[in-house]
C-alpha cells in the first residue's frame, strides 16, 4: 500500500516535470530539413521563442504550430518572439481552434503563406489576419467555416489586399452575402468547391479584376 503511494507520488512528480519542460521548451528547429536560413520551426501546444541562427541572406522560416488545444485563437496566443520577422509561412496542424479572432497572428508581418487547412475552424472574425500585409496565399480548406464576415480576409483597413490565392474548399459555407471577397482586387485563384453554397449576392465579386481561376 505504502509502496503504491510512493510510486504514485513519483509518477505525479514526473508528470509535473514533463509538463514544465514542455511549457518552457516547446519550440525547436527541424534540423533535418534546414538549409542555411531556409528552415522550419515547430512549436508544440504553445508558441514561444526558438533558436535563431545567424543568416547571411534573407531567411525563409516555415513556422508550424502543432496540437494547440485552445477553442479561441486570440491576439494573446502568439506573443512577440525572436523570430517573428523571419517567418514567411505559418501552418497549424491538429489545432482545436474554433474561432480565429482579430489580429491573431499580427507579429508575423512578413508572412506570405498561411495554411490553416485541415483544422476545425468555424468562425473567422474581421481582421483575423490583420498586419499580414504581404499575405499572398491563404488556405482555410477542410475546416467547418459557415460564414465569412466582410472584413475577415482583410489585412488592413483602407489598403489593397495582397491576397492572390484563397482556398475555402471543403467547408460549410452556405451563403455569400457579406462582401468578403469584394476588396480582394489582386486575387487570382479562389476555391469555394465542396461547400453548400445556395446563394451568392450580386455585387460580392464586384472588383475581382484579376481573378483567373475560381472553383465554386
Interface with ligand NAG (CB under 6 A), residue from 88, 130, 142, 164: 142
For the record, the C-alpha cell of 41 comes out as 520551426
For ligand NAG (CB under 6 A), the number of binding residues is: 8
Asked if 64 is part of the footprint of ligand NAG (rule: CB under 6 A), the reply reads: no
Strands of the sheet containing 99-100, edge to edge, are 72-73, 99-100, 123-124
Among residue numbers 91 through 130, which ones bind ligand NAG (CB under 6 A)? 117-118
For the record, the C-alpha cell of 196 comes out as 453548400
Beta carbon nearer to ligand NAG, 45 or 193: 193
User: Would you give the DSSP letter of residue 72?
Assistant: E
In the complex, what is the shortest distance from the CB of residue 47 to ligand NAG, in angstroms, rounded to a whole number?
Answer: 21
Interface with ligand NAG (CB under 6 A), residue from 111, 141, 161, 171: 141
* Contact criterion met (CB below 8 Å) for 74 and 95: no
Asked if 165 is part of the footprint of ligand NAG (rule: CB under 6 A), the reply reads: yes
Q: Which residues bind ligand NAG (CB under 6 A)?
A: 117-118, 139, 141-142, 165, 167, 191
Amino acid at each position: 500500500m505504502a509502496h503504491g503511494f510512493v510510486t504514485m507520488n513519483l509518477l505525479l512528480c514526473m508528470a509535473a516535470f514533463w509538463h514544465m519542460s514542455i511549457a518552457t521548451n516547446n519550440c525547436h528547429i527541424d534540423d533535418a530539413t534546414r538549409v542555411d536560413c531556409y528552415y522550419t520551426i515547430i512549436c508544440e501546444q504553445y508558441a514561444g521563442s526558438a533558436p535563431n541562427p545567424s543568416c547571411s541572406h534573407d531567411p525563409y522560416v516555415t513556422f508550424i504550430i502543432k496540437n494547440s488545444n485552445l477553442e479561441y485563437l486570440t491576439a494573446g496566443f502568439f506573443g512577440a518572439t525572436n523570430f517573428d520577422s523571419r517567418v514567411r509561412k505559418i501552418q497549424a496542424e491538429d489545432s482545436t481552434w474554433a474561432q480565429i479572432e482579430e489580429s491573431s497572428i499580427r507579429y508575423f508581418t512578413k508572412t506570405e503563406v498561411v495554411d490553416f487547412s485541415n483544422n476545425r475552424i468555424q468562425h473567422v472574425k474581421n481582421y483575423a489576419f490583420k498586419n499580414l500585409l504581404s499575405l499572398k496565399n491563404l488556405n482555410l480548406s477542410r475546416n467547418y467555416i459557415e460564414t465569412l464576415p466582410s472584413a475577415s480576409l482583410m489585412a488592413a483597413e483602407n489598403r489593397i489586399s495582397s491576397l492572390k490565392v484563397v482556398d475555402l474548399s471543403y467547408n460549410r459555407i452556405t451563403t455569400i452575402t457579406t462582401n468578403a471577397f469584394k476588396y480582394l482586387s489582386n486575387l487570382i485563384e479562389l476555391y469555394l468547391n465542396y461547400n453548400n453554397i445556395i446563394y451568392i449576392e450580386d455585387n460580392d465579386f464586384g472588383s475581382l479584376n484579376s481573378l483567373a481561376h475560381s472553383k465554386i
